[in-house]
Homo-oligomer: A and B are copies of this chain.
Amino acid sequence: MEEGIINETVQKHGGNIYRASQRYGIRKEDFLDYSANINPLGIPEELRELIISNMDLLSSYPDPECNDLRKDISLYLDVPRDRIIIGNGAAEVIFLLFDELKPKKVLIPSPTFCEYERAASKSGSEVVFYRIKESKGFKLDVHELISSMNDNDADSLILCNPNNPTSVLTSPDDLLNLLKAAYRKGIKVIIDETFVELTIGGNLNSMTAYLREFDNLFIIRAFTKLFAIPGLRLGYGLGNKALISNLWKRKVTWSVNCFAGISGLILRNKHGYLDRTTSWLSKEIDHFYNDLCNLKKVHVFKPNTNFILLKIKDKKTNSYKLRESMAFKGVLIRDASNFRFLDDSFIRVAIKDRDSNEKFIEILNEVI
């Protein structure tokens, strides 16, 4: 059972450093992990301290209503508390949402994060895809998407913004047009903003401000990428009050552990970690992109967030082979071939600090 214990999507997901360690015989801590796309600034110091000084919380049940967290998120995003559901990572929120909505037909602009399709199928929904065009650099054409939405007679639409794995951001103006068109037709729009704080502009690119006006809007967010804490398990969702209330009733009790429950405190200090994140991002995103553009054997898609989609031009290799040879050199990359509409010429890599990025380019250059 050691192979195939869980679904294949998860096995290919970036960041399964446990499996990689077994497979390539390299210690977990020795990998340069470019497969997971989390904030390279690492775990906020405040959070480490918070956990150590609140160790006794382990001996109580977590607050099942996550009141402290909802308060902090409410202040952080200016969204009322009764529009917030907290979950065990964005994953729980997505699955809860589909279980609750049970959409008849879901439209998914793709390539995108694979779990939407899995969650939709699990809830019995028919899934249809709108293909985001590689020829346009994977930029989302909202007018085309609106036509596709109408033609397909979908009752729900889910997209990721900025999108994973393409790293392309769609502007709030474009999304507003989409939202209005969907609203008129009674179509639900779910936007996964897991990476939005890792764009230049951060929450200015978020659609949270439209939650009051559009009750067909649901937003998925998480602490995972922003605070580099996928191990903690903390995601949340924002939507209309009735839906949020139903999600709370549907949810597995206490799925949010005690440390996740207090981690909202790190949102209060906006000028520490979050500012440093913006500063890093504005320096490295273009720099790494430009450096990668100098490589002849890959095409680089322009990123808007902390990871980059690459296309291997060399026909003699592919994403799988490249992943293998990089891994044996101690660098993990994301084989992006299992994203719908991509093939085995695509890989996704994280953006990290200057030194690591340079080392990454050096190794990629050697290997490819």
Binding site for B on A (CB under 8 A): 1-2, 5-7, 10, 13, 15-19, 28-29, 33, 36, 38, 42-43, 47-48, 51-52, 55-65, 67, 81-82, 88-89, 91-92, 95, 115, 228-233, 241, 245, 248-249, 251-255, 257-261
Contacts and interface: CB of A to CB of B under 8 A. Distances in A.
B257 A231 contact: yes
A81 B251 CA distance: 28
25 contacts: A1-B81, A1-B241, A2-B65, A5-B245, A13-B61, A13-B64, A15-B60, A15-B61, A16-B61, A17-B60, A29-B56, A43-B55, A52-B52, A58-B228, A58-B229, A58-B230, A58-B232, A60-B231, A88-B88, A88-B254, A89-B252, A89-B253, A89-B255, A232-B258, A255-B255
Given A19-B63, A43-B58, A88-B254, 19 more contacts: A1-B81, A1-B241, A6-B251, A16-B64, A28-B60, A38-B59, A43-B55, A43-B56, A58-B228, A58-B231, A61-B230, A62-B230, A62-B233, A89-B252, A89-B254, A91-B253, A230-B254, A231-B259, A233-B257
Contacts of A57: 231
Contact of A64 (B6, B42, B261): B6
A353 to B, nearest CB: 14
Contacts of A60: 15, 17, 28, 33, 36, 230-231
Nearest to A232: B58
B59 A229 contact: yes
A52 to B, nearest CB: 6
Nearest to A83: B1
Contacts of A233: 62, 254-255, 257
A250 to B, nearest CB: 8
Contact of A91 (B48, B55, B228, B254): B254
A6 B251 CA distance: 9
Given A88-B88, A254-B233, A255-B233, A248 B59 contact: no
Given A254-B89, A258-B231, A63 B16 contact: yes
